[in-house]
Amino acid sequence: MKSTTSNQLHAQHRQRGATLIEVLVTMLVVAIGLVGAAGLQLSSSRYQQTAHMRSQAVEAAQFIVEKIRVNGSATTSPLPPAPVNAYLAADGYAAAATLPADPACGLSAQPACSQFLAAQRDVREWRQALQRLPGGRGAIWPVSSGGFTDPAARQVVVMWTEKQQNEAGTNAVPNPLDVTDPTCPAPLVAGVRCLSMVVTP
């Protein structure tokens, strides 16, 4: 009788031990699942932020491209000032971005803008809009090919800083923030992303 009771007690202890192990294993699996879910959420948030910034960059580029198309005569007119001066903002990212002076025209209670002053106002408004992007800058250059410069065509570049999708370093790239975008104008700046468009009015 005592032997039977002793065996039952040992069986109960073994069962309790097995149940405790099952609980610990379940907690471990749940913890791993929660860590994985948190990682997915973080990655999703980063991708959403990146997509939002890039859509803003596209909108900023389209804004000035449409302005150039509407006021294309400013880049082709033979009248002074020289057309090559219209719709130019040749700043690299490392240079301090300059904001064109307010032409004081085109708004209510102001005189109408000439085509060249309208171009100046457009570039000013464009650079102000770029400030919504983190580290937003912009540049506009004439388009040259084979030693010939098209007087009407312009290359529009929108530049901004972007958080890396993968911040973990590798042997090849110890610090991902040091990566440069080869599509940006020289001199290249680490961590800066660029979007380029060419427009011919």
Q: Considering only residues 77 and 98, tell me which one the structure prediction assigns the higher pLDDT.
A: 98
3-state secondary structure string across 139-150: EEEEEEECCEEE
Q: Which two tokens stand for residue 44?
A: 């999703």
Contact 100, 87 (CB under 8 A): no
Question: In this prediction, what percent of the chain has a pLDDT beyond 70?
Answer: 74
Place of tokens 């032409």: 103
Query: How many other CB atoms are there within 10 angstroms of residue 152's CB atom?
Result: 19
What are the structural domain ranges in the chain? 2-199
Closest listed residue to residue 197, CA positions, set 42, 60, 48, 22:
60
Q: Considering only residues 76 and 191, tell me which one the structure prediction assigns the higher pLDDT.
A: 191
| Whether residue 158 has pLDDT greater than 90 | yes
pTM over 0.75: no
| Whether residue 157 has pLDDT greater than 90 | yes
Q: Residue 89 gets which letter from DSSP?
A: B
Average pLDDT (128-155) is 85
For the chain, what is the mean pLDDT?
78
- At 107, the pLDDT band (50, 70, 90 cuts) reads confident
* Partners of 140 in the β-ladder: 89, 156
**What is the structure's pLDDT at 94?**
72
Average pLDDT (118-127) is 91
Q: Angle 50-160-149 (CA atoms, 0-180°, nearest 5)?
A: 125
Closest listed residue to residue 183, CA positions, set 96, 57, 26:
57
Burial class (CB in 10 A: 0-12, 13-18, 19+), 16: exposed
**Residue type (1 letter), 50:** T
Contact 199, 70 (CB under 8 A): no
| Whether residue 7 has pLDDT greater than 80 | no
Q: Considering only residues 5 and 26, tell me which one the structure prediction assigns the higher pLDDT.
A: 26
The dihedral built from the CA positions of residue 53, 58, 62 and 64, taken in this order, carries a sign that is positive
Tens digit of each residue's pLDDT (9 = 90 or more) over 71-94: 888 877 655 555 456 888 877 787
**What is the structure's pLDDT at 33?**
83
